[in-house]
Amino acid sequence: MATRQLKPTTPGQRHRIAPVFDDVTTNKPLKSLTTGLDKSGGRNNRGRKTSRHRGGGHKRKLRVIDFKRNKFDIPAKVQTIEYDPNRTARIALLAYVDGEKRYILAPSKLKVGDVVISGETAAPDPGNAMKMKNMPSGTIIHNIEMQPGKGGQICRSAGTSAQLVAKEEKYVTVRMPSGESRKFLGECIATVGTTSNQDHFNTTIGKAGRSRWLGRRPQTRGVAMNPVDHPMGGGEGKASGGHPRSPWGQAAKGKKTRNPRKLSSKFIVKRRKAKK
């Protein structure tokens, strides 16, 4: 997996660093595992804009992904590695020996023809899924459940992974991508390996139009607004700004916003590394 620098034949190409799709084996998803995807444009059921900078974008189909990996002790062969427009990682189509097919998040280095399995006795090989209490310490994992049976919620984007560092009684300790160490129930399921498309962070969009294709609308800087519109607006020339704030006055760039009485705080063993 890599990226490519394009020839500067146009202003938009000049700074673009494009992804390479060498790992993708087909350009057509399995129809039975796709469904329609509605767009809100950032509006709620009253038509009011509740999320800024959203709208437009290319039409997409939703791929139904198996985040639960709850088809236990039935081996599956990887049929295709596919691009999913709804996420940064690649997805893999599995064909189980009983005839069922499912999409999963493709781990790095998973290839067509590989066999993966979920279960209590699965080996800690990339693509296999099992309860974290059955994994050896030091295992690199992704698609981690926060509650047993709910499905993976953590480490699902391109190139991300966590590490299982310790096991004690009914809990396991996992070091997160942010550097935070956190406890999970050992009954929670995770998938072994790192998510695919690890070079995604090296890509550069190159032009504003490509953001529009992704459904992102333009964003106006707060310092370019008037005082009535933003706390950082106003001033003569560029003599404006002041302390970084959100449009609603919330301090930005460093203010801690986590509720100290949040129930899940008891599961955090070590907070994430502070920015220097």
Give the amino acid at 4.
R
Kindly give the pairing relationship between strand 140-142 and strand 91-96: unpaired
- Cα angle, residue 230 at apex, residues 227 and 233 outer, rounded to 5°: 50
**198 and 2 Cβ atoms separated by less than 8 Å:** no
What is the pTM for the complete model shown? 0.91
Average pLDDT by stretches of 10, the chain with 276 residues? 89 94 94 96 96 96 96 96 96 96 96 95 94 95 96 96 95 95 96 96 95 96 94 90 92 90 93 70
The pair of structure tokens assigned to 173 is 């300790």
Kindly give the pairing relationship between strand 181-185 and strand 268-270: antiparallel
**C-alpha distance from residue 184 to each of 147, 150, 164, 178 (Å):** 8, 13, 10, 16
Instruction: Give 218-231 pLDDT, tens digit per residue.
Output: 999 999 999 999 99
Instruction: Report how far Cα 131 is from the mean position of its chain's Cα atoms.
Output: 21
DSSP per-residue string spanning 156-209 = -STT--EEEEEEETTEEEEE-TTS-EEEEETTSEEEES-BS-GGGGG-B--SHH
Q: How much of the chain is in helix, strand and coil states, percent to nearest 5?
A: 10, 30, 60
- Nearest CA-CA partner of 153 in 179, 168, 136, 174: 174
* CATH no., domain 3-201: 2.40.50.140
Ordered by start, the domain boundaries in the chain are 3-201
